Structure 1
Amino acid sequence: MEKKLFFVINNLYSGGAERVVSTLANEFSKQGFNVFIVCLNQAELGYHISPEITIVNLLKERSKEHIFNRLKYASLIYLRLFKLLVKERPICVVSFMTTSNLWTGLVCNLINIPYIVSERTTPDNTINSFNYFLRKLTFLIYKKSKTVVLPAKGIEDCIKRNHTFKKLNNIKIICNPINTFQSPSDVNVYGRKFILGVGRLSYIKGFDRLIEAYSSIGVDDIDLIIVGDGDEHANLSIQIEKLGLQNRVKLIGTKDNLQDYYSQAELFVLPSRNEGSPNALIEAMSFGCACIAMDCEFGPSELIENEKNGILIEADNVLKLTAAIQSLLTNAELRKRIAINAQLIHRTNSLDGVFLQWKNLILSDTTV
Structure 2
Amino acid sequence: MVRKRKLIFAINSLNGGGAERVISNLGNYFYKRGFDVTMVCLNEAKPAYFLEQGIKVISLIDQKRNEKFFYRLWYGGVTFFKLLYLLIKEKPSCVVSFMTSANLWIGLTCNILNTPYLVSERITPDYTVNQFNYFLRWLSAAMYSKSKAIVVPSKGMIDGFKKNKSFSGLSNFEVINNPVSQFIPARLERVYPRKFILSVGRLDRQKGFDLLIQAFEKLQISDLDLLISGEGDERVNLENQIKELNLSDRVKLIGYQKNLQDYYRQAELFVLSSRNEGYPNVLVEAMSLGCACVATDCEFGPSDIIENEMNGLLVKANSTKYLYEAIKRTMSDPVLKIKMSVNAQLINQTNSLENTFAKWEKLILNHI
Query: Do they superpose with TM above 0.5?
Result: yes
Equivalent residue, structure 2, for 1:211? 213
Q: Establish whether residue 357 from structure 1 lines up as the match of residue 359 from structure 2.
A: yes
**How far does residue 131 in structure 1 lie from its aligned partner after superposition?**
2.2
Corresponding residue for residue 109 of structure 1: 111
Counterpart of 1:194 (choices 193, 196, 205) is: 196
- In 2, the alpha carbon distance for the partners of 1:327 and 1:150 equals 33
How do 1:51-90 residues align onto structure 2 when only pairs under 5 Å count? 51-90=53-92
Structure 2 counterpart of 1:32, from 14, 31, 34: 34
Mapped contact 2:199–2:272 kept (Cα < 8 A): yes
What is the letter of the counterpart of residue 225 of structure 2? D
Say whether the 8 Å CA contact 2:45–2:58 is kept in structure 1: no
Alignment-mate amino acid for residue 153 of structure 2: P
Which residue identity does 1:357 align to in structure 2? K
Query: What do residues 323-350 of structure 1 show as CA deviations (whole Å, max 9, x unaligned)?
Result: 1111111111011111111111112211
C-alpha displacement of 1:147: 0.4
Q: How many residues align?
A: 366
Matched, 1:300 2:302: yes
C-alpha change, 1:134 and 1:201, in structure 2 (3 Å) is closer
Partner of 2:263: 261
Question: 1:132 Cα deviation (Å)?
Answer: 2.2
Measure, in 2, the Cα distance between the counterparts of 1:63 and 1:267: 37
Distance 1:13 1:365, change over 3 A: closer
**Cα distance in 1, alignment partners of residues 289 and 257 from structure 2:** 16
Once the two structures are superposed, residues 129-172 of structure 1 have per-residue CA deviations (whole angstroms, 9 ceiling, x without a partner) of: 22223222221211111100001111111000111111110000
The CA distance in 1 between the partners of 2:238 and 2:71, in whole Å, is 34
1:315 to 314, 317, 329: 317
* Aligned-partner residue type, residue 169 of structure 1: S
- Equivalent in 146, 151, 154 of residue 152 of structure 1: 154
- Give 2:121's aligned amino acid: E
Can you list the C-alpha shifts for 1:244-295, whole angstroms capped at 9, x where unaligned? 2222222222212111111111100011112111111110000111000011
Q: What secondary structure does 1:302 align onto? A: helix
Aligned mates of 1:167, 1:62 — CA distance in 2: 37
Partner amino acid, structure 1, of 2:264: Y
Aligned partner (choices 261, 272, 275) of residue 273 of structure 1 = 275
Change (3 A) 1:129 1:241: closer
Q: Measured at CA, do residues 66 and 208 of structure 1 come closer, stay the same or move farther in structure 2, by a change above 3 Å?
A: closer
| 1:15 and 2:17 are equivalent in the alignment | yes
1:201-249 per-position Cα deviation (integer Å, ceiling 9, x unaligned): 2221111111111111121222111112222222222222222222222
Q: 2:173 aligns with which of 165, 171, 174?
A: 171
Find the partner of 1:128 among 120, 127, 130: 130
Paired letter, 1:144: K
Aligned partner of 1:98 in structure 2 is 100
Higher mean C-alpha displacement, 131-140 vs 299-308: 131-140
Q: For the Cα contact (< 8 Å) 2:208–2:318, is it kept in 1?
A: no
**Inter-partner Cα distance in structure 2 for 1:55 and 1:123:** 28
For residues 323 and 104 of structure 2, the distance between their equivalents in structure 1, rounded to whole angstroms, comes to 38
Pair 245,169 (structure 1): closer, same or farther in 2 beyond 3 Å: same
CA distance in 1, matches of 2:210, 2:91: 47
RMSD of equivalent CA atoms: 1.4
SS, match of residue 65 in structure 1: coil
Q: Tell me the SS of whatever aligns to 2:60.
A: strand
TM-score, normalising length: structure 1 = 0.96
Say whether the 8 Å CA contact 2:126–2:160 is kept in structure 1.
yes
- Structure 1 residue 68: Cα displacement: 2.8
For structure 1, list consecutive stretches of 5 or more residues without a partner in the other structure.
Answer: none
Structure 1 CA distance for aligned equivalents of residues 21 and 145 of structure 2: 26
Moved more, 90-99 or 40-49: 40-49
Percent pairwise identity = 52
* Secondary structure at the counterpart of residue 215 of structure 1: helix
Q: Is the 8 A contact 2:16 2:256 kept in 1?
A: no
TM-score, with length taken from structure 2: 0.96
Q: Contact 2:45 / 2:57 at 8 angstroms: preserved in 1? A: no
Distance 1:243 1:73 in 2: 42
Conserved? CA contact 2:154–2:301, under 8 Å: yes
Equivalent residue number for residue 239 of structure 2:
237
Q: Which runs of 5+ in 2 are unaligned?
A: none
